[in-house]
Amino acid sequence: METLTLIRTNSTHEDFKNLVAELNAYLSVIDGSEHAFYQQYNGIENLNHVVIAYKNNEPVACGAFKRVDASSAEIKRMYTKPEVRKYGLASKVLKELEQWAFEEHFENTILETGKRQVEAVKFYQKNHYLSMPNFG
C-alpha cells in the first residue's frame, strides 16, 4: 500500500534543498542559455512556507510560497520528480500551498513560469491560474 504524506516546513529542510537541486538541473536544460538569468529570482534562502510531498517516505515533490504584498503570495519552486508525474502529486502540493497561504491571510496566489515550460503552463491552467503579463 502506497502512502502519501505532505509536510509543511521551510527552506532549510534538506529534502527541499535536494528537490530544488533536481529542479534547477531540469530547468537548466529547458531554459538553456537563459537559465543563469532566471536563477537570480529563484533563491530559496528566505522561503518560510515550503511543502514537501513524500511517497512511501521518499521525497518526490515540493513547492513554496512567499509574500508579494499584503494580499498576494507567490508560488515558487514547484517540482515533481519525473517518475511520479501524472499521479496528481503536484496538484496536492499546490492545493496545500494555497490553503496555507489562505491561513496566512493572503487573498490570492500568483506565480510566474516560462513559456518553454509547456507542461507547467498546462498544469497551472488546469488548476485555474490565468495568464497575465510578467510581474517579477
Q: Which domains does the chain have, with CATH numbers?
A: 4-126 (3.40.630.30)
- HSE of 51, CA atoms in CB hemisphere, 13 A: 27
| Distance (Å, whole) CA 24 – CA 106 | 28
pLDDT recorded at residue 36? 54
Average pLDDT on 58-69 reads 97
Average pLDDT on 126-134 reads 82
The candidate with the shortest Cα–Cα distance to 44, out of 70, 69, 76, 74, is 76
In the predicted structure, residue 120 carries a pLDDT above the cut 90: no
pLDDT tens, 24-42?
A: 998 878 765 554 555 556 6
| Distance (Å, whole) CA 123 – CA 115 | 12
pLDDT recorded at residue 34? 57
